């Protein structure tokens, strides 16, 4: 699909959508609990639907109505010999592989888009000596057959891998008969996502203890049902926060927890560093334009913010450099390249290497055609950049937003944007 976007200004009051990261964790915890849990609000993005469908294949019962999920947990060991399609969701895949192994059942995991090429090396290295066999059925990582019973023990892994691997193990290890240790052999990156997991587990009565070397997880723990309130999503609210920063009128954002463990809450401090005006307004945040200047940003803990921060950099005076961003090469697209290409398509001065993006701001951006590269964050970042271009911008592959934020264009237009989404 094509989104045809005219220059315009976003202003008004906006409520952040439910956190995709928190939704995954809430649904999985509820599915592993013995009894009924309520999870709300839940928005049926493609990624969250992938997790829901997978959990139902594992014999959880999940009903979603009016953004409320009623989850009946898995009451017995699933039958196994099943196929779980994770669509394009790396979280669904990496969270659920260890859970299937903890149940000791045979599962074939499949996926679409770029997911079959996304790495699973951590599990290939860890699991054979812990009783689990992973067999690639084709040349890519997927389809992947998982068989065998995961054993408790000591798991050594580098801290700079995707936090999704650590989260997957944290969900699975409490189900095993013995105690386990996660030993990190290098500094932990994306720590906030791990903190989110530990917090979510605690709400289901499962404890994870931090140690000097990593984490200790006791076995034979029981997930207990609960009522789980999903937080507002800093990652997706970041796009409208950036739009507020780039406009005189600004945007007021509701629904973001000030004490959130989401790493992407750093967007607020980063927009302040760019020179934006940020103020509290009741329980909401108002963000509006100030005198913007380029800054240096360490992306190791906030990889998902890199595309929209690069857009902000294009409108700030001077140079913005975002570094420690090597893991962006393994996202839905190579985001170092796709972000740079999107900005260049609109006339920005941007370039990248294997670990960073540099944007030299201050140029007037013009009309153009941007490929979303089947990446939701590229599509949404381009839509924000298009607000401030001197003519129409076409986003090819605009439907990529459905992966995490299906109502993005509705919210965009409601705040004053002009996005006409049509078949390409």
Q: What is the secondary structure of 290-317 as a DSSP string?
A: ---B--EEE-TT-GGGHHHHHHHHHTSB
Residue 154 counted as an annotated binding residue: no
Residue 304 counted as an annotated binding residue: yes
Residue 162 counted as an annotated binding residue: yes
Higher local confidence (pLDDT), 349 or 77: 349
pTM (predicted TM-score): 0.94
Contacts of 408 (CB under 8 A, 6+ apart): 236, 239, 380, 383, 401
Q: How confident is the model at residue 423 (pLDDT cuts 50, 70, 90)?
A: confident
> What whole-number distance in Å separates Cα of residue 26 and Cα of residue 226?
10
Concatenating the DSSP letter of every residue in 68-123 gives EEEEEPP-S-----EEEE-TT-HHHHHHHHHHHHHHT--EEEE--TTGGGS--HHH
Residue 335 counted as an annotated binding residue: yes
Domain 2-17+232-422 in this protein, CATH class: alpha beta
For residue 263, give the nearest of 163, 378, 336, 359 by alpha carbon.
163
Residue 75 counted as an annotated binding residue: no
State how far Cα 51 lies from the chain centre: 13
Bridge partners for 145 per DSSP: 108, 135
Contacts of 420 (CB under 8 A, 6+ apart): 3, 4, 5
The 10s digit of each residue's pLDDT in 330-360 is 888 899 999 999 999 999 999 999 999 999 9
Bridge partners for 253 per DSSP: 14, 285
Every domain of the chain and the residues it spans = 2-17+232-422, 20-217
Ranges assigned E (strand) in 163-269: 180-184, 209-210, 214-217, 227-229, 251-254
Domains 2-17+232-422 and 20-217 share a fold: yes
pLDDT at 330: 81
The 10s digit of each residue's pLDDT in 109-154 is 999 999 999 999 999 999 999 999 999 999 999 999 999 999 999 9
The answer to whether residue 44 scores a pLDDT higher than 90 is no
The answer to whether residue 424 scores a pLDDT higher than 80 is no
Averaged pLDDT score across all residues of the chain: 96
pLDDT at 362: 87
Q: How confident is the model at residue 282 (pLDDT cuts 50, 70, 90)?
A: confident
Residue 203 counted as an annotated binding residue: no
pLDDT at 184: 97
Q: Quick check: is 304 catalytic?
A: yes
* Annotated active-site residue in 304, 334, 375, 411: 304
Question: How many other C-beta atoms lie within 10 A of the C-beta of residue 265?
Answer: 20
pLDDT at 293: 98
Side-chain-facing half-sphere of 99: CA atoms under 13 Å: 29
**What is the average per-residue pLDDT within 294-320?**
97
Instruction: Determine contact, residues 275/260, Cβ cutoff 8 Å.
Output: no
Lowest-pLDDT range of 28-42, 278-292, 298-312: 278-292
> What whole-number distance in Å separates Cα of residue 216 and Cα of residue 199?
15
CATH superfamily of 20-217: Enolpyruvate transferase domain (3.65.10.10)
292-298-299 Cα angle (round to 5): 100
The answer to whether residue 248 scores a pLDDT higher than 90 is no
**What is the average per-residue pLDDT within 39-53?**
96
The answer to whether residue 283 scores a pLDDT higher than 90 is no
Output the six-digit token pair for 335: 């985001």
- Sign of CA pseudo-dihedral 345, 347, 351, 357: negative
The 10s digit of each residue's pLDDT in 202-243 is 999 999 999 999 999 999 999 999 999 999 999 999 999 999
């Amino acid at each position: 699909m094509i989104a045809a976007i005219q220059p315009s200004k976003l202003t008004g009051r906006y409520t952040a959508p439910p956190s995709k990261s928190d939704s995954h964790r809430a649904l999985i915890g509820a599915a592993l609990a013995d009894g009924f849990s309520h999870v709300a609000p839940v928005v049926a993005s493609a990624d969250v639907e992938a997790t829901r469908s997978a959990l139902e294949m594992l014999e959880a019962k999940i009903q979603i109505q009016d953004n409320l999920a009623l989850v009946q947990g898995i009451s017995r060991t699933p039958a196994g010999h099943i196929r779980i399609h994770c669509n394009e969701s790396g979280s669904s895949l990496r969270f659920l592989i260890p859970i299937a192994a903890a149940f000791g059942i045979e599962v074939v995991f499949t996926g679409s888009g770029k997911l079959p090429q996304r790495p699973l090396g951590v599990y290939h290295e860890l699991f054979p000596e812990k009783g689990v066999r992973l067999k690639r059925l084709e040349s890519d990582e997927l389809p992947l057959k998982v068989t065998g019973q995961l054993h408790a023990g000591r798991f050594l892994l580098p801290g700079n891998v995707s936090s999704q691997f650590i989260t997957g193990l944290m969900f699975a290890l409490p189900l095993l008969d013995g105690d386990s240790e996660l030993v990190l052999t290098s500094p932990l990156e994306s720590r906030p996502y791990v903190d989110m997991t530990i917090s979510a587990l605690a709400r289901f009565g499962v404890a994870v203890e931090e140690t000097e070397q990593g984490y200790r997880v006791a076995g034979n723990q029981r997930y207990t049902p609960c009522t789980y309130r999903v937080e507002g999503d800093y990652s997706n609210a970041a796009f409208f926060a950036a739009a507020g920063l780039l406009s005189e009128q600004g945007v007021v954002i509701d629904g973001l927890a000030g004490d959130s463990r989401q790493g992407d809450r750093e967007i607020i401090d980063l927009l302040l560093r760019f020179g934006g005006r940020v103020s509290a307004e009741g329980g909401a945040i108002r963000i509006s334009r100030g005198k913007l200047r380029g800054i240096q940003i360490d992306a190791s803990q906030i990889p998902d913010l890199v595309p929209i921060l690069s857009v902000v950099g294009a409108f700030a005076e001077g140079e913005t450099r975002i570094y420690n961003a090597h893991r962006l090469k393994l996202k839905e697209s190579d985001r170092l390249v796709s972000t740079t290409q999107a900005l260049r398509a609109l006339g920005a001065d941007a370039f990248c290497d294997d670990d960073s993006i540099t944007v030299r701001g201050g140029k007037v951006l013009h009309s153009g055609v941007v490929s979303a590269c089947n990446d939701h964050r590229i599509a949404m970042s381009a839509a924000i950049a298009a607000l401030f271009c001197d003519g129409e911008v076409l986003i090819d592959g605009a439907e990529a937003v459905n992966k995490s934020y299906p109502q993005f264009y509705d919210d965009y237009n409601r705040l004053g944007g002009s996005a006409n989404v049509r078949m390409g």
